[in-house]
Structure 1
Amino acid sequence: MNMKNRTFGVIGLGNFGATVAAELTRFGNHVIGIDSDEKQVTRHADSMAQTMIADAREEAALREAGLAECDVALVAMGSDLEASILAAMNLKLLGVEKVWAKATTKTHHRILSKLGVDRVIHPEVEVGQHIAQVLHNPLVRDYVSLGNGYHVVNFRIPEALEGKALKDLPHTEKYKLRCIGVMRGSEFVGQDGDSCELQRDDLLLLLGQRQDLRDFATSL
């Protein structure tokens, strides 16, 4: 399947849903936006291929809107628990290949999972955790979770490590971390085994488990 030519359905055009829909459209996808609020539909009509006022609690309404032909659908509304659950159920009944849904509580999450939703997301929680991790250690510029406890973390090299060789850092043996590389501005300048001399504000990209990454960050 050509990823640039997929069709996505987004149900709920609040801030979260509308942002996802607009970005998917920007990537070149065909996006169908659904909301029961006429104002929301009108507001975002120009940012995606197709928008429609529809009640996602009705299977027939979603079928008429073309959701059955979508490769992936996102239930982006979280405050209306009943509408969210019924929308997810209807999408599964329509045979949509992949269904994602936003949840606001643990109970909401469990129900969506029981309905067979492929991925349940908590945007506010996930963004909050991400920001807290970055705020906690000023040397951490950003990070990506890879699952199973593994992360890729972007560390800013502090003044104390300026001039040291990459191969002399204790990340491999002491902290069991893998160096993916070093970025200097927009340039890739080194990786494991290279005789790369670190400069202040270089970005060190490390792969490892959370506790090992934390211990290494604390040691800096």
Structure 2
Amino acid sequence: MTGKSMEIGIIGLGKFGLRMARTLRDLGHTVIGIDASENRVQLAEEYLETVYRADATNLTVLRSLHMQELDWVVICVGESVEQSLNITLNVQELAGPRLLVKASNEEHRKILQRLHVDRAIVPEVDAAVMAAHQLANPGMLDLIPKYGGIAIQELDVDRWHGKTLVELNLMQEHAVMVMGIRPAGADAFIFVPPARTVLQRGDRLVVAGRPASMGRLRP
């Protein structure tokens, strides 16, 4: 587990919601599951300590379950945009938890962004974009759209053998920052390495920057 333990509500326990709930539980967080389906509730009870069969479109019900006291609420209702927005507005009415919503399409995401939810995701779209970038940029670990499409990627040192980070001047030349180095033969990364670190062939770097800038690097 990383960071402090949080209390998180998951509304909608389909495949996506239940997987998120189980992962958060495994990370050490307290997870409360909510779904209107008896079958989904019964399945979730195998993995979560606290699961309610309840109608999340009812604000009074959410208050009675103390959703307002949670750190986050995740809405994973995919049956209809109207239902998702109804629940979203209810949770915002609670004025307590931060809010992540699974959108069914880009139009749904735009509406959620106008409602100023903390995070709105379209899993299929986000996964497709990520897969495309990883295909085009081998070694890419993550893509962070919120900050303008910043990519995090691993690179193996070859041509940069014998050079220091100061000499490479990657920030000025390519707007790329070196976040960590794993020396050749070592198991662990050194994060925020000193600028005068001399690179060796076989070292692995973790760098962050725009995907287009990454594509121009020849380490």
TM-score, normalisation: structure 2: 0.82
CA distance in 2, matches of 1:199, 1:127: 33
Distance 1:151-1:85 versus aligned 2 partners, 3 A rule: same
Q: Report the counterpart of residue 215 of structure 1 in structure 2.
A: 216
> Does 2:163 match 1:165?
yes
Distance 1:124-1:164 versus aligned 2 partners, 3 A rule: farther
CA distance in 1, matches of 2:201, 2:44: 46
> Does 2:133 match 1:133?
yes
Question: Structure 1 stretches (4+) deviating beyond 4 angstroms?
Answer: none
Q: Report the counterpart of residue 61 of structure 1 in structure 2.
A: 61
CA RMSD of aligned residues (A): 2.7
Alignment of 1:69-88 (within 5 A): 69-88=69-88
1:73 Cα deviation from its structure 2 partner: 0.6
> Does 2:203 match 1:205?
no
- Residues 189 and 196, structure 1, Cα contact 8 Å, conserved in 2: no
Q: Aligned to 2:104, what secondary structure does the other structure show?
A: coil
Counterpart among 178, 196, 199 of residue 198 in structure 2:
196
Instruction: Give the count of matched residue pairs.
Output: 213
Distance 1:77-1:192 versus aligned 2 partners, 3 A rule: same
1:182 Cα deviation from its structure 2 partner: 1.5
Cα deviation 1:105-157 (Å, max 9, x = unaligned) = 2321233234342221122222221121111123x241342743363522331
CA distance in 1, matches of 2:160, 2:113: 49
Partner letter of residue 216 of structure 2? D
Q: Report the counterpart of residue 19 of structure 2 in structure 1.
A: 19
Distance 1:77-1:157 versus aligned 2 partners, 3 A rule: same
CA distance in 1, matches of 2:74, 2:104: 15
Q: Report the counterpart of residue 154 of structure 1 in structure 2.
A: 153
CA distance in 2, matches of 1:55, 1:69: 18
Q: Aligned to 1:153, what secondary structure does the other structure show?
A: strand
CA distance in 2, matches of 1:51, 1:195: 52
- Residues 152 and 205, structure 1, Cα contact 8 Å, conserved in 2: no
> Does 2:181 match 1:182?
yes
Q: Aligned to 2:180, what secondary structure does the other structure show?
A: strand
Q: Aligned to 1:187, what secondary structure does the other structure show?
A: coil
- Residues 166 and 192, structure 1, Cα contact 8 Å, conserved in 2: no
Q: Report the counterpart of residue 110 of structure 2 in structure 1.
A: 110
Cα deviation 1:135-184 (Å, max 9, x = unaligned) = 1123x2413427433635223316x5374434454634432322223114
Distance 1:189-1:56 versus aligned 2 partners, 3 A rule: closer
Partner letter of residue 205 of structure 1? V
* Structure 2 residues without counterparts, runs of 5 or longer: none
Distance 1:215-1:44 versus aligned 2 partners, 3 A rule: same
- Residues 11 and 77, structure 1, Cα contact 8 Å, conserved in 2: yes
Could you tell me the percent identity over the aligned residues? 25
CA distance in 1, matches of 2:109, 2:146: 18
Q: Report the counterpart of residue 8 of structure 1 in structure 2.
A: 8
CA distance in 2, matches of 1:152, 1:82: 34
- Residues 166 and 198, structure 1, Cα contact 8 Å, conserved in 2: no
- Residues 73 and 100, structure 1, Cα contact 8 Å, conserved in 2: yes
Distance 1:173-1:83 versus aligned 2 partners, 3 A rule: closer
TM-score, normalisation: structure 1: 0.81
